[in-house]
Amino acid sequence: MLMDGWVSRLRVLAVVFCALVVAFGSAAAEPLPYAGEESEGLSKDGLATLKALLEETNTHAAVVLHEGKIVAEWYWKGDGPHSSYEVWSTSKSFASTCIGCLIDDGKIGSIEDMVGKYVSSWKLGQKAKITIAHLLDQTSGLEEERGFPMSQDQLKMALSADILTEPGEVGRYNNAACNVLSAIISSASGKDPEAYMRDRVWKRIGMDQTWWRRDSAGNVITYAGIQTTARELARFGLLHLEKGDWNGERILSEKWVEGATNERTRLKIQGFGDGAPYGLLWWLDFGVDDGVPHNYSSLGLFGNNMTVIPELDLVGVRLVGNDRDGMPLMMRTPEWVAALAGVLKSPVAAD
């Protein structure tokens, strides 16, 4: 009788184990193809230069994809492929992609829709002039109060902020304005941004460890908050490099990717006299004056960066999470982009 009881328990455990394998194991993402640093077309000197820059700036994790394959992957500080990081404002590009998916799904008409169509408190007054495009290209004119990032309810604070300048007139980097997208995404999709992105994008491209942080009131913060791994952030970059296609499955329209990653406005930042080119929550074209092809980047505090260089078929990810010692690369973003481009051998001139 005792033996029969143990056999029954083992059978139950076996059934549970098989169910878990079916539920989770079969849905596990295919790993990104690996090619390595000896791949044809790579520059050993270029890889060494990039790695030295990353080490000098206290990087924790870095991944480089070329032609959709991992050609370089480095970890420091005891971290590894499953280490997760807060990517800070790199999250803004995820919010942009949320809007693109909702437009593709017909749940938002276009970026020229008024915010008031989705947020009832913005139907009157100056805010009635603000479009989704104004939030995405940082020209809303919304005020960002100094205490905004420490607010218990950051969404409420963003929605109640004053207007400082006429919408569309001034490009000004603005976390509060970007956070309004949280309300728009929830209204249009019927889900919060994290749930929407998990079902609509992350599960489909293998971002299984990625999640989105919330404020103390429970609202997803769309100006920051993405927690992810270097490999999974590289997948997000690869989706855009492939113009919204993932192994033959259309995730995001090519029209959206093209529109989001080309210049809409210029934002005033140090080192750019006439402003830095900016798309729809993507930074553009670092190093083009020095010969780097068109590129676009999602940039986060402390230098949590992801860059795509379409012409070179490159995606680069560099992460430090909350480590302030990684800050130097934030100040040297053009150098990061140039070093990433430099991992490829220069084409040999024709005779």
Give which of 59, 58, 39 is closest to 343, Cα–Cα: 39
Sign of CA dihedral 167, 170, 171, 175: negative
Task: Give residue 141's pLDDT.
Answer: 96
Alpha-carbon distance of 240 to 260, in angstroms, equals: 10
Residue 321: phi and psi, rounded to 5, are: 65, -125
In the structure encoding, which two tokens stand for residue 37, read together? 């640093």
For residue 108, is pLDDT > 50? Answer: yes
Secondary structure of the chain: what % helix, strand, coil (to 5)? Answer: 45, 15, 40
Task: Give residue 13's pLDDT.
Answer: 44
For residue 110, is pLDDT > 60? Answer: yes
For residue 7, is pLDDT > 50? Answer: no
The percentage of residues in the chain with a pLDDT greater than 70, rounded to a whole number, is 89
DSSP three-state, residue 74: strand
Fold classified for 88-299:
Beta-lactamase (3.40.710)
**Per-residue confidence at 97, pLDDT binned at 50, 70, 90?**
very high
Residue 227 bridge partners (DSSP): 86, 211
In the chain, alpha helices (H): 2-20, 44-56, 91-104, 132-136, 154-159, 175-189, 193-197, 203-205, 230-241, 254-260, 327-331, 333-341
In the structure encoding, which two tokens stand for residue 21, read together? 């394998």
- With contact defined as beta carbons under 8 Å apart, do 232 and 206 qualify? yes
For residue 95, is pLDDT > 50? Answer: yes
Give which of 102, 184, 110, 180 is closest to 142, Cα–Cα: 180
Give which of 258, 238, 243 is closest to 308, Cα–Cα: 238
What's the whole-number mean pLDDT along residues 120-146? 96
For residue 319, is pLDDT > 80? Answer: yes
For residue 120, is pLDDT > 90? Answer: yes
Least confident of 25-39, 47-61, 206-220, 234-248: 25-39
Residue 214 bridge partners (DSSP): 220
Alpha-carbon distance of 289 to 287, in angstroms, equals: 5
Chain region(s) in the chain for CATH 3.40.710.10: 88-299
Q: Which residue do the tokens 């992609």 mark?
A: 97
More confident position, 269 or 303: 303
DSSP three-state, residue 96: helix
Rounded-to-10 torsion of CA 179, 184, 190, 196: -50
What's the whole-number mean pLDDT along residues 245-266? 97
For residue 147, is pLDDT > 60? Answer: yes
Task: Give residue 28's pLDDT.
Answer: 64
- With contact defined as beta carbons under 8 Å apart, do 215 and 152 qualify? yes
In the structure encoding, which two tokens stand for residue 47, read together? 């890889």
Alpha-carbon distance of 88 to 186, in angstroms, equals: 21
In the structure encoding, which two tokens stand for residue 254, read together? 């090519």
Residues 6+ apart with CB under 8 A from 60: 75, 76, 77, 79, 83, 85, 319, 320, 321, 323, 326
DSSP state of 66: E
Task: Give residue 26's pLDDT.
Answer: 37
Average predicted confidence (pLDDT) for the chain: 91
**Per-residue confidence at 128, pLDDT binned at 50, 70, 90?**
very high
